[in-house]
Amino acid sequence: MTNAKHIHIVTGGKYHDFDLARLKLLQAMAEDERIRASCAMDYAGLEILDKCSGLILYTCDMMPTDEQAEQMDSFVRNGGRIMALHAVNAHLEFTDGPEIVTSGVRIPGLVKSTAETVSPLFMELLGSRFVTHLAAQEVHVHVEDQDHPVTRGMKDFTLVDEPYVATPLGELRTLMSARYKGSTPGYVTEEITDDPPRPQLYVKDHGKGAVLYSPLGHACGKYDMRPLMDEAPVVRGPWDDENYLEIIRRGIAWITEAPIAAPAA
């Protein structure tokens, strides 16, 4: 019997470089000869989960239908694993105006926090709901949990990314955290004044399976902000950062239940 492991990747939505993320994910998966991959740009075709060990999600403002959310929920409850990244839990809705220009981006109004009524089953499965984010900046990430295989042996690090603020849903095991506060340009929140440790990587058990989620991972290509901006500055974000790529590699190993090598001294 084959020892192959199938992982399905969904990358798509708005305002992010999904091609870069997909490429980096596939390159990391190629390091394990057992892994067979399939890719999709939306949540259609989730029947493929019947033969999958895991599912990787990197999306923005793209919510599953109720049926698709139930497919993913059932997949995890029956032992499957999901690694979700960055804006998967973000639904973008704007106020009625006036038009706002922030960092050269013209938006029809301020961006609202993701409402509780948006894909509630999916949000509960993920373990958090997007609220807002600060402008891209250095984020100092602290390893909270050295006992979990995904973070065992890792050290604190700093990278440049969008600091996300989210509402936690359910019991979460925080593996990494960061503290930040400040203005949130373009969002109705205007400013975040509290400063608790915010999860940067967590695990949520769900039935026989689990979800691994990190809000880190922003990237944007030259044309990814259309129609809000004709040409945008290219931002590769943490996708060129070895610490972030190590999280990705370890997350893939966690999905396939492969041994996770200790970091080099």
Res. 259 pLDDT band, cuts 50 70 90: confident
Do 134 and 180 meet the contact criterion of CB atoms below 8 Å apart? yes
User: What are the C-alpha distances in Å from 156 to residues 134, 140, 240, 250, 260?
Assistant: 21, 7, 17, 16, 18
pLDDT at 104: 85
Domain ranges of the chain: 5-256
Residue range 34-61, pLDDT digits in tens: 999 999 999 999 999 999 999 999 999 9
pLDDT of residue 1: 41
pTM of the model: 0.97
**CB-CB contact of 161 with 218 (8 Å):** yes
The whole-angstrom separation of Cα 172 and Cα 170 is 6
Query: Under a CB-based contact definition with an 8 Å cutoff, are residues 85 and 21 in contact?
Result: yes
Q: What is the pLDDT of residue 2?
A: 59
pLDDT tens per residue, range 114-163: 999 999 999 999 999 999 999 999 999 999 999 999 999 999 999 999 99
Write out the CATH class of domain 5-256: alpha beta
What's the N-to-C CA distance of the chain in angstroms?
Answer: 37
Whole-number average pLDDT of the chain: 96
C-alpha 126/C-alpha 151 separation (Å) is 19
User: Strand pairing of 198-206 and 173-178?
Assistant: antiparallel
Question: Is 80 exceeded by the pLDDT of residue 261?
Answer: no
pLDDT tens-digit map of 175-229: 999 999 999 999 999 999 999 999 999 999 999 999 999 999 999 999 999 999 9
- pLDDT, tens digit (0-9, with 9 covering 90-100), for 70-128: 999 999 999 999 999 999 999 999 999 899 998 889 999 999 999 999 999 999 999 99
* Residue 18's pLDDT band (cuts 50, 70, 90): very high
Neighbours of 220 (CB within 10 A): 19
User: Phi and psi (nearest 5°) for 258?
Assistant: -85, 155
